[in-house]
Structure 1
Amino acid sequence: MTNKIVIGKEEWCGLPELGLPAIKARIDSGAKTSSIHAFNIHTFVEGAKKYVHFDIHPIQNNRQIVHSCRGVVVDRRDVKSSSGEKEKRHVIKTPVTLGGESWEIEVTLTNRDAMGYRMLIGREAMKERVLIDPDSSFCLGNQNEAKIVNYYRKVTPRKNGLRIILLASNPELYSNKRIMEAGEERGHEMRFINIRQCYMNISEANPEVHYRGGEVLESVDAVIPRIKPSMTFYGCSIARQLESIGAYCLNDSVSVARSRDKLLSLQLLSGNGIPMPVTGFANSPVDTSEIIEMVGGPPLVIKLLEGTQGKGVVLAETKKAAESVINAFKSLRANILVQEFIKEAQGKDIRAFVIDGKVVGSIQREAAAGDFRANLHLGGTASSVKITAEERRIAITAAKTVGLKVAGVDIIRSKDGPKVLEINSSPGLEGIEDITEKDVAGLMIDSIERNVKRKVLV
């Protein structure tokens, strides 16, 4: 081809066979294969060909518009994302139109909901056909996004999927809203249930969970427990009752209870050879000095067993300070852990998000100035990080040891290698989705679909 099309770093293109007259694409010569946003992906065989059906939000930041597509599957291959993660994707062939020209390209299907563009055009699709001007955008003409909306129609997802309960306390939290959205996008019947407004009928003949006003919660396919620490006992009781009447729990009540018991979870990790900071636990004030020496002496960290989100965590920099804090907590009959301080971590830790035995995303958190707790709720910051194979293995093993299918595993990097600090059964989604640009809420719904027999009808 002698006359190549000149394009910029972003362009509007069309995919006519998929029914997409206009979609904004990022031009990326660093990526080999093109990709397009897809969710609710299902394959089926028709005649001698394998097809894939998928849905797409063709306009960024607009989940009200859903367009359904179908294409012939030509391959399924491992693709490495920009974050270095490998993902097995379906590959289809379809014509693309750019600047009045049309040709067939290969496109992989992946959820790009948190990314800046619904489509990425890689170098294989552009080979021998285009030249890129990296300083320009929309060399082939811009589109009015308000008009683009009129190309598509708003679709209410069909309620032919699973009946899923989100068992939590606050429907306005980012994480809870995203989970509800992700389930509804995939055609499931999502319902938010406030833990405090549930009560139980515990009987041999007719065990039930009732909701405010006496409604019986029945025909529930799956439960996503997002139980805040102060509601652990009651929340796990409700989840256990729902499990007993046949509902699938994404994180079951036993694993949630284990993760909330910091001492038990550390003992389980220790028994499975998972590295962690040296930790001491005692009841008598007589043993204070021995506990301090056991963890390597000051500086050391003192944690309330019931503390969350960095609260109830104290850094004692001298032996005298450590003794004072430990004895003060003991006088209040509070259970505490005494833990070695990993100074070389410099106030940083890693949150690895595990779903079904796979790390789906990871971020590095850094403590606010003057603090040592790498916690976003306390003014800390977060950034993208590529974790090592060893850190990945430790995170997966830690979640499996406690029994969690979905977990936020907090890891600290020490001079002796990575060590697990804590395992969270209700990890927040905002930071991980924003930084990794991954639809983690959607991956949680995908996990339910894989584990519950009754699937969405295509």
Structure 2
Amino acid sequence: MNIFIFSVSDQVYSTKRLYDEAINRGHDVSIINHAKCSVKLSQGKRQVIFEGDDIIGEPDVIIPRIGASITGHGAAIVKEFEMNGVFSTARSLGILRAQNKLRTLQIMNRKHIPIPDTVFSVNTDNIKEQIDLLGGAPVIIKLQEGTHGMGVILAETEKSAKSIIDTLHTMNTSFLLQEFIKESNSEDIRALVVGDKVIASMKRKGLEDDFRSNIHRGGVGSVVSLSSKEEEMAIRAAHYLGLPVAGVDLIRSKRGALLIEVNSTPGLQGIEAYTKVNVAEGIIKYIEKKCLTKGSRTKR
């Protein structure tokens, strides 16, 4: 198969792993910086152009590794290939939905996937009432488009919550409020969904003085077994967003597992290191099976 990996750098761990595994399995692979791609639309036709010069052809598969800084542009590039029938491990709409935490939670709530109680509002006159809707302080304040644990704030008192919320409103920053799940004990679970399976899962534990559990924020990981219900939640969540490959984050509470986030570009370094699962190979094998089933132009 001819595979394009869209990534801003060929030195990113996840990009390199996917490239190496695809090459090892006999595929033709190109790493393309989507930030340097342009699209020309003219008379019902389109061209995707790299660095203003080279016209990019049609691959069999694209693997988008779209970062938060240029989500809109990256999703638009993915969309151009989607419209031509190219299989993608992350659909353009799924990339946009997953990047917006509120939109993700709205979809999950409508689909009856359990989430932490969440409030969003632009009304600064009833901040106390908003906090009270979540059972009072402490509360979690999240930027709607934060990533790697950035833009997630624990407000331990009502006073601090009101101060932070006032500041974010003044900065015209979109955010949401969530209940603080004390019993999660600064832990969450990352489930790596590929197709109809969770192929790897790890528990992430935050630093002693940090409620966030992200590996990027200094947290550590360990292997964890998911219940059948947790696996089903993760798979359903990825499917509802249109993401054949996704990282789904859950926390365990007194009410059971709750979904907190879905990542359309899950990092592979932490989960491969802590679980010893070859996730990159699993993704490439899934692509092979999917494309062979659809009769893709296979070169193997």
Partner Cα distance (1:378, 1:457) in 2: 41
Partner Cα distance (2:65, 2:180) in 1: 30
Residue number among 92, 115, 122 corresponding to 1:276 in the alignment: 115
Q: Which has the higher strand share?
A: 1
Contact 2:119–2:176 at 8 Å: present in 1 too?
yes
Q: Which has the higher helix share?
A: 2
The equivalent of 2:245 in structure 1 is 406
TM-score (norm 1): 0.63
User: How much has 1:404 moved relative to structure 2?
Assistant: 0.9
User: How much has 1:287 moved relative to structure 2?
Assistant: 2.4
| Residue aligned with 1:428, SS | coil
The equivalent of 1:237 in structure 2 is 76
The equivalent of 1:78 in structure 2 is none
Q: How does 1:14-413 map to 2 (within 5 A)?
A: 162-413=1-252
After superposition, what is the alpha-carbon deviation per residue over 1:361-389, rounded to whole angstroms, capped at 9, x for unaligned?
Answer: 10000001200000111111001111111
After superposition, what is the alpha-carbon deviation per residue over 1:17-39, rounded to whole angstroms, capped at 9, x for unaligned?
Answer: xxxxxxxxxxxxxxxxxxxxxxx
Runs of 4+ in 1 over 4 A off after TM superposition: 455-458
Tell me the amino acid that sits aligned with residue 296 of structure 2.
Answer: R
After superposition, what is the alpha-carbon deviation per residue over 1:325-382, rounded to whole angstroms, capped at 9, x for unaligned?
Answer: 1111111111110000000111000000000021101000000120000011111100
Residue number among 284, 289, 297 corresponding to 1:450 in the alignment: 289
User: How much has 1:213 moved relative to structure 2?
Assistant: 4.5
Larger CA Rg, structure 1 vs 2: 1
Partner Cα distance (1:291, 1:357) in 2: 38
- Name which structure has the greater RCO, CA cutoff 8 Å, separation 6+: 2
Partner Cα distance (1:219, 1:394) in 2: 34
Q: How many residues align?
A: 297
| Residue aligned with 1:246, SS | coil
User: How much has 1:402 moved relative to structure 2?
Assistant: 1.2
Contact 1:449–1:455 at 8 Å: present in 2 too?
no
User: How much has 1:245 moved relative to structure 2?
Assistant: 2.9
Contact 1:208–1:245 at 8 Å: present in 2 too?
no
Partner Cα distance (2:187, 2:43) in 1: 50
TM-score (norm 2): 0.96
| Residue aligned with 1:207, SS | strand
Over aligned residue pairs, what C-alpha RMSD do you find?
A: 1.2
| Residue aligned with 2:44, SS | coil
Partner Cα distance (2:277, 2:215) in 1: 19
User: How much has 1:281 moved relative to structure 2?
Assistant: 0.2
After superposition, what is the alpha-carbon deviation per residue over 1:397-443, rounded to whole angstroms, capped at 9, x for unaligned?
Answer: 11111121111100000011100010000001111112222211111
After superposition, what is the alpha-carbon deviation per residue over 1:199-219, rounded to whole angstroms, capped at 9, x for unaligned?
Answer: 001134321101124111113
Contact 2:60–2:297 at 8 Å: present in 1 too?
no
The equivalent of 2:258 in structure 1 is 419
The equivalent of 1:68 in structure 2 is none
Partner Cα distance (1:429, 1:455) in 2: 28
After superposition, what is the alpha-carbon deviation per residue over 1:62-83, rounded to whole angstroms, capped at 9, x for unaligned?
Answer: xxxxxxxxxxxxxxxxxxxxxx
Contact 2:196–2:235 at 8 Å: present in 1 too?
yes
User: How much has 1:457 moved relative to structure 2?
Assistant: 5.6
After superposition, what is the alpha-carbon deviation per residue over 1:142-195, rounded to whole angstroms, capped at 9, x for unaligned?
Answer: xxxxxxxxxxxxxxxxxxxx1111011121111000000011111111000001
Partner Cα distance (1:457, 1:202) in 2: 29
Partner Cα distance (1:447, 1:346) in 2: 35
User: How much has 1:447 moved relative to structure 2?
Assistant: 1.9
Partner Cα distance (2:102, 2:203) in 1: 25
Tell me the amino acid that sits aligned with residue 215 of structure 1.
Answer: D
Partner Cα distance (1:282, 1:204) in 2: 43
Partner Cα distance (1:204, 1:371) in 2: 55
